[in-house]
Chain A
């Protein structure tokens, strides 16, 4: 598969532990946020989203936390599995904009 980013920050986590991936977003006018997962050789895949009127949203094994005061977003993955190994991107959508602003991504590496 392609190299998504040779200089991406990397998070190494033991299999079975929880993972926390952080993201600082740039635009205080952004009111909608998305996390994507990109596996090697594939396109980004939607994981979970959150609107700015919420500070927490839970999915299956994933939780997104939003702190608007410091413009910070995090993705928590419970009981990390080998299949979670990927690059994770946060994305923000400014209010009334057609376009998404993507972060550069974090590579999650699972240790056996």
Chain B
């Protein structure tokens, strides 16, 4: 999967707890993205990064924050998880913006 590792692959947690998902790439690509995938909505962009310490919001960024301190790692944090954030989360990478994105295998997050 284009050298992309997401961790954890599965997580169950309780409402109100903080959660951090990690995406690690070995491709040295500049761009990294976080999506969520839900029935009836397809893939929706949460946040993306166009370089170390450079990030921007996507269409569903409320309740999420991100950090990129190294080229290879992009972290997604839910500061206080809610049940509406139960979803499958995908990380993607691309060499440049506007180029095909390559995806990890996802993290299934359940918030009870």
Which residues of A are at the interface with B, using a C-beta cutoff of 8 A?
Answer: 2-7, 32, 34, 41-46, 49, 89, 93, 96-100, 102-105
Contacts and interface: CB of A to CB of B under 8 A. Distances in A.
Interface string B34-74: 00010111110100101000000010000000000000000
A102 B42 contact: yes
Nearest to A36: B103
Interface string B15-28: 00000000000000
The range of chain B's interface size is 20 to 34
A5 B43 contact: no
B40 A43 contact: no
B98 A103 contact: no
B105 A42 contact: yes
Given A2-B108, A93-B98, A45 B40 contact: no
Given A5-B40, A102-B42, A97 B1 contact: no
B45 A99 contact: yes
A41 B106 CA distance: 8
B88 to A, nearest CB: 5
Contacts of A49: 100
Contact of A42 (B45, B106, B108): B106
23 contacts: A2-B37, A2-B88, A4-B37, A4-B39, A5-B42, A41-B106, A42-B1, A43-B1, A43-B92, A43-B106, A45-B103, A46-B102, A89-B43, A93-B98, A96-B98, A97-B97, A97-B98, A98-B97, A98-B98, A99-B45, A102-B43, A104-B42, A105-B42
B105 to A, nearest CB: 5
